[in-house]
Amino acid sequence: MKIMGYEIVLEIDGVESMVKLDDTYPAINNWHTATEVAIRMVENDHPDVKNIDFVECVEYEMEEYEKYTYIHESPCILQ
């Protein structure tokens, strides 16, 4: 399984900010879900934010995981 990384650039109240995620998070399957998670993280960390705009998302294969022959998908567990 390839591990994909995502660099999501958001404009938060007029200031650009980058959120880096990868698909080892159970909720992230592609660039779209990575963007949704990034937006939710910003909303959680900064509840007083008025405006969050999507700027771009870069998707790439994570090099640090290439040395592993097999990586099992992490299960989604809710507690």
Dump pLDDT digits (tens) for 42-70: 999 999 999 999 999 999 988 877 777 76
Give 26's pLDDT tier (boundaries 50, 70, 90): confident
Q: Where are the domains of the chain?
A: 4-65
pLDDT of residue 74: 63
Single out the residue of 7, 78, 11, 2 nearest to residue 42, CA to CA.
11
**Cβ count within 10 A of residue 38:** 24
User: What sign does the CA torsion over 36, 27, 31, 22 have?
Assistant: positive
| pLDDT greater than 80 at residue 72 | no
| pLDDT greater than 80 at residue 21 | yes
pTM flag (> 0.85): no
